[in-house]
Structure 1
Amino acid sequence: MRLNKHISESGFCSRREADRLISEGRVLLNGQRPGVGAQVEEGDKVVIDGQELRKRAPGAKKHVYIALNKPTGITCTTEAHVKGNIVDFVGHQQRIFPIGRLDKDSEGLILLTSNGDIVNEILRSENNHEKEYLVGVNKAVTDEFLRGMAGGVRIHGQMTKPCKVRRIAKFGFSIILTQGLNRQIRLMSEALGYKVTQLRRVRIVNVTLGHLKAGTWRNLSEAELRGLLPQRTDW
């Protein structure tokens, strides 16, 4: 079996992401750095970032928890008839669905899972789970704009919660939200006379986008799951 397929079938990440890990020298096969097209034989030892890969037992039904760097143009829906739906894009062997949403025109971090029991726990606004975004706009970011965004803006007939905002470039800012209203950042910006030109989510609670390339995904680590779901152990 090809090494990238072996890694993918273990549930660690997609084949595309496995190829990247191999090419970056982060995978060892029997103690050696393999090429992207390397083959795995029965009994071979595969190590990724210093941790031995454990192949999933046949018939095992362990829950799936994925971090995806969603590119623009992909729709966060499980409806199969929608072209470019996120489930078909990931193409996982288990039935998974997104936790929350990320607009079709937006990119960046989104979580997917096969465990429906934890979705509401992560999304519930009163838990104040932080989500961080990097945003590009069509006009220079002013102090007045930053104060307006941070203090709350009326959209969808309600005031948004106060949030953390800071300038990161002449036409860019970062924002940390603890709620997830539909198209919230775009509508908040529009209410203050700005248009969003680019929007990327880079963090959900303790899970960060890091170096995950657009269109690739990886499994969450146990440490990330503990941070997301501190009251649970039934991952």
Structure 2
Amino acid sequence: MALPLTFAEVKAQVLLLSRPLGTCAAFHQAVNAGDYPALIAAAMAVSTVDINPLLWLLKSGGVTDALISDVDQTALNAAGIYATGSVSLLNPAGDITIIGTAAVTVTLTGVNAVNIWVGRNASLVLEVNDTAFAEIKTFDNSSISITVNDTGTLCFTAKDHTTTIITINDTSNSTVEVRNYTGLTLNANGTSFAKVTGFQNAAMAINTTGTPTIIQTAYQGANFSIPTT
């Protein structure tokens, strides 16, 4: 079994792989990084649109899953990045990125809010309570289970074959968008509200109990099952 790469070796590989990507200021920041926290900060400084910087780098080849596995996991966790193992978080501060083989459980209470990115086959279990808010974006065969209770709010976007189960209860409010063969099961209960939009062959099954309000729209080959009571 090969020994893990040293920091210097990881940095050298990151610079070599990311040089063609034109990340400019973030690349300069990486050149001057003297430790893992600084190198991770450089990666997360990459300017992207509608995708987490680390996930963009992974998709673009600027870093690899193998390199991520050699990075100090404590430094990754400190930056809100989880790549391996199982972890439970209560009201985390700052954005969360979940990749690789990580399995993360997040519980939100009170008025707390969080942005979470999930990709590269990782899994997320999320519970939103009270008047908390979560914005979730998922990619790359992720596995997602979300429960929204009370008057919690969810904004959820899924791409790339993500498997998703969302349960909305009480008077909660959710906006859900699924794409690219994503499979969604939405269990709507109480007087909850959800706006659900599907694109590009997404498959969406909606089950209702109580008197929830569901606004559903399908485009580009997406399809809904008929809601049942």
Q: TM-score range by the shorter chain?
A: under 0.3
If asked which structure has higher relative contact order (CA below 8 Å, sep 6+), I would say 1
Larger Rg: 1
TM-score, with length taken from structure 2: 0.24
TM-score, with length taken from structure 1: 0.23
